[in-house]
Structure 1
Amino acid sequence: MGLYELIKGEDNGVADNNFLMIEQGGYSEKEMESAPQNSKPKSNTGDIQIAAVAVSRRDASKPRLVSLDVFRGLTVGLMILVDDAGGILPAINHSPWNGVTLADFVMPFFLFIVGVSLGLTYKKLPCRVVATKKAVLRALKLLVLGLVLQGGYFHGLNDLTYGVDVEHIRWMGILQRIAIAYLFAALCEIWLKDDGDVNSGLSLLKKYQFQWVVVFLLTTMYLTLSYGLYVPDWAYQIPIEGSSFAPKTFSVKCGVRGDTGPACNAIGMIDRKILGIQHLYKRPIYARTKQCSINSPDNGPLPPNAPSWCQAPFDPEGLLSGAAPVLDGLFSVMAIVACFIGLHYGHVIVHFKEHKDRILHWMFPAFGLVVMGFGLDFVGLHVNKALYTFSYMCVTAGAAALLFAGIYVLVDVYGYRRPTMVMEWMGMHALMIYILAACNVLPVVLQGFYWRKPQNNILRLIGIGS
């Protein structure tokens, strides 16, 4: 999830003649205000780079929006905590199905950060076509990175083989979902905004009214597909290890609409139809529910008379929870909406310069989202991370907004940067931390050094992965 170094700026934020310099450590608000607007886009890349460097040096001492880096670093730290301690403390691990835990806030927080960054990156565009090409290229890079890191190519701890059978590769994943959400939100930010001035909350909504129409359509489509599609009975197979017999077949009874349980939801049906069940995540989150584990909410053996669906693959970053099959493409639905929420907060930063105005325009929507999310959960539209339900999006996006506003007050308004310096550094190096820590790249590299036989590797000698 620390991939955001890739997408927090457009080639370091250099956007032709407006010289918007998005620095490695944050966003300089003075730079956003000082962009010249009276000349045509240049075609000489060298001149652009020289000008950008000049702007960077000239404004190096001006205040930056550090809170975004701190928030990103805090989220990276939270990600590492739940990844490493989630197995020991099930209470902070992902919720087995309905409900929300500490781990369930990590992905939405990053999506929110992506949205805020987009609002700052695309404040002024000398050429929409060029910006579109860069956004598409950046999204493709993220997709490829996701397939390499999460598709199964790298082995895990105690697995000393590399490579993946393409017939069973996992197509979707965290990076893939974020790439899709980023691309969709970026294209809307590039093409769908008016030229009017902003001097109030109403004028802000009017300027970006077409983006909110997209949000409404995406939400309507998600709810329609989730609660309107008919889910028939289905079956899946599990190979019997160490046996030449045919795989064991399990049948799951459904024949319902609007079910949001593990077995018969429309999200899982779409993933099985479009991606193929062999390409889904082999360790479903619902394996830790009471129906499927005697150690719930932790993993454990199947209880007596466990439902037939307990061992079926299910992808939490699948199509409808991540996307829907429209024009044979994948576009993240609720993930995109979460990105748009962050984008709105970025718009507030761009158009309102007073701290008081920003905080007011942040806090009311944030509280509204949280109240709406828990209200929907109370009436039966459950908060569910695996399905990325609308109520889950509201709760987590609202929480992200509240936390970001709090960090902004602490760091950018009152200037308490010393207590957050570690988080700021982590936010500036999020991609490196993600690859080394969250994707097990560093442990895998260490595991390659062994004494006489692969099993005697460094990790086992120091007691990790044994």
Structure 2
Amino acid sequence: MASVAIDVAGEQTATQNCPSSPSVSVEIPTEETKNLPLEDVSNTPVLPSQQIVSIDVFRGFATVILILVVDAGGAFPSISASPWTGLTLGDLVLPFFLFACGFSVALLFKKVPDRKAATIKAVKRAILLFVLGLFFQGGYFHGRGDDTYGVDLDRIRLFGILQGFSARFITPAKDSRRRANINRIFLSGMTVVWLDNDGIVDSPSSFARRYYPEWVVALALCSIYMGFSNNLYVPDWEFHVLKSEAVNRVSCGVRGSLSPSCTAAGLIDRFFLGEKHLNQRPSYARMKECSIRSPASGPLPSDAPVWCQAPFDPEGLLSSFTAVVTCFIGLNFGHVYTNSRAHGKTLITWLNTSLVLVIVGLVMKTLGLPFNRSLYTVSFLCVSSGICGIVLTALYYIVDVKEIMKPVLLLKWIGKNVLIVYALSALQVCSIVLQGFYWRSPENNPVDRLESGLQALFHSTQWGTFVFVLVEIIFWGLFSGFLHRKRIYL
């Protein structure tokens, strides 16, 4: 075996075992052990570097799915987030990012020498992320097809995806030498700063002793969520229809309802955030009760219930309790990796944990608790986290064990600069800027002309849009590769 060291900036340098060195001395496989058959994988040492390649690929994969859902979801409604209950490709985007954040925290913050300093830096980053969320998702940008901008502060959306992330997951920097790696991970939880116990992990029992506080918190969060969801009384309530003087009244008077109109999550958000600051176009407006083109958006049916026009935010306060548990699950997967000494042991543990989560989620659904991304139900938490684990396990085997890199190179590059790709592409900031440059009429802008040209070429709106999105993904992959080559990480 060859002995090398991985320093905290992620660079490999030859070194001797030195307690005072900021590097970690580990053994890695030699040329003879790189291509072991599957049955010998369990004897292959794990390389516990700060960044395993598969987690970058995993983040890139999540970002590509997000771009596909945002830009092709109109042409293919079946991949968009479920209008209310169900499980689609779009529903998995948020869990993928939360899971990746938790995993990354386990790699970066095994030990925190100064908890107070780390917490201060974490709060600063959370505030910055919240402000960015208000700017990008508060309503200032009006989306493609609308060349106006600006937002009424009386109706600004307080909790979009980025704002919700800032409250759930905060990335504390331990020292300046880790900034480069931290900047690649745009979100994670600071809970590990305060909850991790010290000690060597050399058995399942020592693993449990070191990390059990995190699971105590995770179980407490789920219990609080279930307590409010099942027991909070939701009275009748009123709301103002968007861009109208009309006031509609919704009849509830129930506890434990999972219908869009009478959830405890909606009540809590209206009370603490105010109905004006919630998402005014919630996903349940695409339900068959609310859209004649369901599951796509469309005009209201003649007999649509009044709550179809009511505000609701899936990134609200109560759903954050279970959403944060997804990060804890990713954190546990990261702990398994950082404390494992063999690829096979890591793969088996991850796969078994993932399958258990999926089975638990399916059992809960069978017992009457539906998959619901907007409410982030416990059944959805379990099954989505299990799917995340299965995907990461597969990528880890392909990329880190078998070292097959070329097919996922674009995903790796995107995963290293996920925040900038997310802002410019998934939030459509780049498209909105480009559509401001047009020839004689606003419709003749570069973005719309490219998409309409591809639709005409393929004689299909759906497949023309799909190819347009593929071109967009390839562009952002190459752009991220350029940033990676220049060592620019945002």
Q: Secondary structure at the match of 1:291?
A: coil
Return the alpha-carbon distance in structure 1 between the equivalents of residues 429 and 17 of structure 2.
Answer: 41
Q: Tell me the amino acid that sits aligned with residue 290 of structure 2.
A: C
Give the deviation of 1:120 after TM superposition.
0.6
1:256 to 254, 257, 262: 254
Counterpart in the other structure of 2:287: 289
Q: Secondary structure at the match of 2:165?
A: helix
Counterpart in the other structure of 1:94: 81
Give the deviation of 1:345 after TM superposition.
0.8
Note the 1:17-416 alignment, pairs <5 A. Answer: 21-23=8-10, 37-38=19-20, 65-183=52-170, 186-238=189-241, 247-322=245-320, 333-416=321-404
Change (3 A) 1:80 1:455: closer
Counterpart in the other structure of 1:446: 434
Return the alpha-carbon distance in structure 1 between the equivalents of residues 242 and 82 of structure 2.
Answer: 28
- Alpha carbons 2:66, 2:93 under 8 Å: kept: yes
Give the deviation of 1:204 after TM superposition.
1.0
1:424 to 394, 400, 412: 412
> For this pair of structures, how many residues does the alignment match?
410
Give the deviation of 1:198 after TM superposition.
0.8
Change (3 A) 1:464 1:142: farther
Between 1:126-135 and 1:210-219, the stretch displaced more is 126-135
Return the alpha-carbon distance in structure 1 between the equivalents of residues 67 and 242 of structure 2.
Answer: 33
- Alpha carbons 2:443, 2:449 under 8 Å: kept: no
Q: Tell me the amino acid that sits aligned with residue 410 of structure 2.
A: V
Q: Tell me the amino acid that sits aligned with residue 301 of structure 1.
A: P
Q: Tell me the amino acid that sits aligned with residue 261 of structure 1.
A: S
Return the alpha-carbon distance in structure 1 between the equivalents of residues 82 and 191 of structure 2.
Answer: 32
Counterpart in the other structure of 2:484: none
- Give the RMSD, CA atoms, in angstroms: 2.6
Per-residue Cα deviation, 1:105-149 (whole angstroms, up to 9, x for no partner): 010000000000000110122322222222222222211111111
Return the alpha-carbon distance in structure 2 between the equivalents of residues 22 and 121 of structure 1.
Answer: 11
Return the alpha-carbon distance in structure 2 between the equivalents of residues 36 and 68 of structure 1.
Answer: 29
Give the deviation of 1:22 after TM superposition.
4.6
For structure 1, the residue ranges without an aligned partner over 5 or more in a row are 1-17, 40-50, 56-61, 242-246, 323-332
Return the alpha-carbon distance in structure 1 between the equivalents of residues 419 and 343 of structure 2.
Answer: 30
Return the alpha-carbon distance in structure 2 between the equivalents of residues 34 and 392 of structure 1.
Answer: 48
- Alpha carbons 1:92, 1:102 under 8 Å: kept: yes
- Alpha carbons 2:354, 2:390 under 8 Å: kept: yes
Change (3 A) 1:227 1:450: same
Return the alpha-carbon distance in structure 2 between the equivalents of residues 150 and 66 of structure 1.
Answer: 30
Return the alpha-carbon distance in structure 2 between the equivalents of residues 224 and 256 of structure 1.
Answer: 15
Give the deviation of 1:196 after TM superposition.
2.1
Give the deviation of 1:392 after TM superposition.
0.6
Q: Tell me the amino acid that sits aligned with residue 267 of structure 2.
A: M
Change (3 A) 1:347 1:460: closer
Q: Secondary structure at the match of 1:302?
A: coil
Change (3 A) 1:107 1:464: farther
Give the deviation of 1:353 after TM superposition.
2.2
- TM-score, normalised on structure 2? 0.78
Give the deviation of 1:203 after TM superposition.
1.7
Return the alpha-carbon distance in structure 1 between the equivalents of residues 7 and 16 of structure 2.
Answer: 8
Q: Secondary structure at the match of 1:309?
A: helix
Return the alpha-carbon distance in structure 2 between the equivalents of residues 336 and 37 of structure 1.
Answer: 35
Counterpart in the other structure of 2:183: none
- Alpha carbons 1:201, 1:361 under 8 Å: kept: no
For structure 2, the residue ranges without an aligned partner over 5 or more in a row are 26-46, 172-187, 456-490
Q: Tell me the amino acid that sits aligned with residue 298 of structure 2.
A: G
Q: Secondary structure at the match of 2:266?
A: helix
Percent identity between matched residues is 45
Return the alpha-carbon distance in structure 2 between the equivalents of residues 171 and 36 of structure 1.
Answer: 49
More helix by share: 2
Change (3 A) 1:360 1:201: farther
Change (3 A) 1:121 1:99: same
Q: Secondary structure at the match of 1:236?
A: strand
